[in-house]
Homo-oligomer: A and B are copies of this chain.
Amino acid sequence: MNKPNIVILGAGYGGIMTTVKLQKKLGVNDANITLVNKHDYHYQTTWLHENAAGTLHHDRTRLPIKDVVDFSKVNFVQDTVVSIKPEEKKVALENGELDYDYLVVALGFEAATFGIPGLLDNAFTIGNINSARLIREHIEYNFAKYNNETEKKQERLNIVVGGGGFTGIEFVGELANRIPELCKEYDIDRNQVRIINVEAAPTVLPGFDPQLVEYAMNSLEARGVEFKVGAMLKECTPNSILIEKDDKQEEILTNTTVWAAGVRANSLVEESGLEVNRGKVEVQPDLRAPSHPDVFVVGDCALIMNEETGRPYPPTAQIAIQEAELAAKNLAILVGGGTHLESFEFMDRGTVASLGHDDAIGVVFGDKKLFGWSASVMKKMIDNRYLLKLGGLGLLLKKGKFNIFH
């Protein structure tokens, strides 16, 4: 009897956790497992804003795939997915093609710029290791140039972050810590530098507890962050943005616009012919595509409705990891000849947003509000828990965040 080919696309939170769980559940005689990823490393997307701000080195955020995936059990193919062909049960790669019996689509997100003029070309996004370290270098480069020019250019020192959601707020929190260091490094007065957060909704962190939002804004403003809420980003050029608030337009000079206000599922999913809703596959309770029972979808490419609110669960690392665990379990059942798959149930472990290295806000244990140092400790514990789950104690000790007391 032929062993089934299981192909997992992407080594982000969803893909790597599916692979790691699967390699524990299945023996080499049960299935051929192949993991495809563009890079030979996994990275924690939720830490990238720290790399972009320059408060954490990107080597802390990424880890070699071979450190957590057992290459004697899993084939690793470093390549870029070009298209998914569910009718032919094939995946086209830049340098080849793979057949599958079971597919796990875990291709993550890409930026959505909603057609705002100039944004695609002129704004940076915090999407991967390359783009995050480019933001870090771009800010530094502008600071380095500032004192070399006779006519001082304020656009070198203004940093605009589009979007007051999770990523945008966490990023300005890191910037607020980083900018004073950069000012020292490049002999620039801190008061010359502006960090501006632009959010279209009437408040940042929409959906978060209003008291915690108030705390977050106060904490960030005290460290020099300016908020423009209820303001639409209308245009982005290489050295400015145009925003509109209460029917009044304002131009802000900046060489650095970081767009953190919109993500969508990897567009390969929509192009694949799989049935989509808002660009994502609205999966069955067992996480398979309704039209293709041999295709599992996890992470940002999957859409699951929250029955309580009637709205989809937001795309987070937490839900991706939980989906991956179930996908691995259900795949093992299928490979073992079973037919009764388990259904996904989201277990909300709480949400904590970092505001810098020793400050955060969050809601945990259902309804317990946290802010300040205790919340930042909780945030680090959540990050550490993931590492423990992914690679055991060794990985936790190597990559964990233990700077709790300073």
Contact = CB atoms under 8 A, between A and B. Distances in A.
Contacts of A186: 133
Contact of A148 (B130, B145, B147, B148): B130
A341 interface: no
Interface residues of A, number: 17
Contact of A140 (B140, B147, B185): B140
A213 interface: no
A134 interface: yes
A137 B134 contact: no
Interface in A122-142: 129-131, 133-134, 136-138, 140-141
A144 interface: yes
Contacts of A141: 137-138, 140-141
Contacts of A134: 144-145, 148
Nearest to A145: B134
A127 to B, nearest CB: 10
Query: Interface SS of chain A: helix, strand, loop or mixed?
Result: helix
Interface in A371-406: none
Contacts of A185: 133
Interface in A98-156: 129-131, 133-134, 136-138, 140-141, 144-145, 147-148
A185 B57 CA distance: 10
Contact of A133 (B129, B130, B138, B144): B144
Contacts of A136: 144
A80 to B, nearest CB: 11
Contacts of A140: 137, 140-141
Contacts of A187: 129-130
Contacts of A137: 137, 140-141, 144-145
Contacts of A133: 144, 185-186
Nearest to A184: B59
A17 B140 CA distance: 34
Contacts of A130: 147-148, 187
Contacts of A129: 187
A186 B130 CA distance: 8
A311 B107 CA distance: 70
A145 B138 CA distance: 9
A141 B135 CA distance: 10
A177 B147 CA distance: 27
Nearest to A131: B148
The 4 A-B pairs with the shortest beta carbon distances in the complex, nearest first, are A137-B144, A141-B141, A130-B147, A134-B144
Interface of A: 129-131, 133-134, 136-138, 140-141, 144-145, 147-148, 185-187
Given A134-B148, A138-B144, A140-B140, 17 more contacts: A129-B187, A130-B147, A130-B148, A130-B187, A131-B148, A133-B144, A133-B185, A133-B186, A134-B144, A134-B145, A136-B144, A137-B140, A137-B141, A137-B145, A138-B141, A140-B141, A141-B141
22 contacts: A129-B187, A130-B147, A130-B148, A130-B187, A131-B148, A133-B144, A133-B185, A133-B186, A134-B144, A134-B145, A134-B148, A136-B144, A137-B137, A137-B140, A137-B141, A137-B144, A137-B145, A138-B141, A138-B144, A140-B140, A140-B141, A141-B141
